[in-house]
Amino acid sequence: MFVPLNLALFCAIVVATVIGIPLYGYYFGFSLFDWVLFLVMYIVTGMGITVGYHRLVSHQSFECPNWVKACILVAGGWADAKFCPHMGRRPYPPSRQD
């Protein structure tokens, strides 16, 4: 269902980010810690979405201990789970054709 307010908020956040991050970098600069944290979080949240939400939850393509599953899913939760293409839209059980 299309909600115009959601689109407006999404666009506002994107515009604020695209303008705000370079302005911050121009006026204050980014430290090495900022860049390292960016890279680490980019990798961790990307793996959480692709390995956790997509491969583990959507396709059930592997098994792991519960503590590993919890860590992967928390890392995926740090990203936006809407980017996983299968979450919440599967009208049938997963199969080999997925």
More confident residue, 85 or 2: 2
Domain that holds residue 37: 32-98
Same-domain check for residues 64 and 37: yes
Q: Compute the half-sphere exposure of residue 17: CA atoms within 13 Å on the CB side of its CA.
A: 6
pLDDT per position as a tens digit, 3-23: 899 999 999 999 999 999 999
Same-domain check for residues 36 and 83: yes
Q: State residue 32's pLDDT score.
A: 94
Q: Kindly calculate the radius of gyration of the chain based on its CA atoms and give it in whole angstroms.
A: 17
- CA 75, CA 90: separation in Å to the nearest integer? 23
Same-domain check for residues 8 and 48: no
pLDDT per position as a tens digit, 36-94: 999 999 999 999 889 988 898 888 899 999 999 999 989 988 886 555 555 555 555 55
